Amino acid sequence: MTRSNIPLRNWLIGLLTVVLLTACGGKQTAEFKSTDITGADFGQDFHLTDHNGKPRKLADFRGKVVMMFFGYTHCPDVCPTTLTEMALLIKQLGKAGEKVQVLFVTVDPARDTPELLAQYMPAFNPGFLGLYGDEAATAKVAKDFHIFYQKQPSADGKRYTIDHSAGTYVFDKNGRLRLFMRYGQNLDDIEHDVKILLSS
């Protein structure tokens, strides 16, 4: 589940993709603490359903900074840690936090039902939204955003965890993909970058 559990080859491929996009397609902005991927030709949109049953696409959140993270509710570490940090970020931003939308895209649609997501997300922040789709929709959005995920069955074969990419994509208020924030990044740096996007 943690980065060390994700096959090294897949993690390196993902890292190389971000680096290449930054060097070749992105406009590097020294102000940002996160990886600037402005101009990336992937992750342009999504079509999923939120945990309230409402169909969602990126344009629904125009006017807000969108922070998009992929995970699953049974995750023991990375996912709850990331969502907790995002909740702290919203709190630290004060009134400006109302202009930030956190989206949690499940990579485990078999277990992460709308009902479960509706209980899970408000535990971190009532404004956070869980997004889900069927297996095909999940595979498509993961591919569109260069997200790796793979089931890891337990020894008895009755349970499983999921190895998955552990970073956050950030869109500006105009719906443009701008940043990639790595897992474990300093919260003050994240706040710094989000404030830049909120003010632009």
CB atoms within 10 A of CB 4: 7
Q: Please, which residues have CB within 8 angstroms of residue 5's CB and are 6 or more apart in sequence?
A: 152, 163
| H or E stretch covering 136 | helix 135-144
Q: Please, which residues have CB within 8 angstroms of residue 75's CB and are 6 or more apart in sequence?
A: 1, 161, 162
Between CA 100 and CA 127 the distance in angstroms is 9
Closest by alpha carbon to 144, among 46, 48, 60, 32?
Answer: 46
- Tell whether residue 24 is among the known ligand binding residues: no
- Tell whether residue 164 is among the known ligand binding residues: yes
Could you tell me which residues are annotated as the binding site? 75, 79, 164
- Residue ranges of the annotated binding site for Cu cation are 75, 79, 164
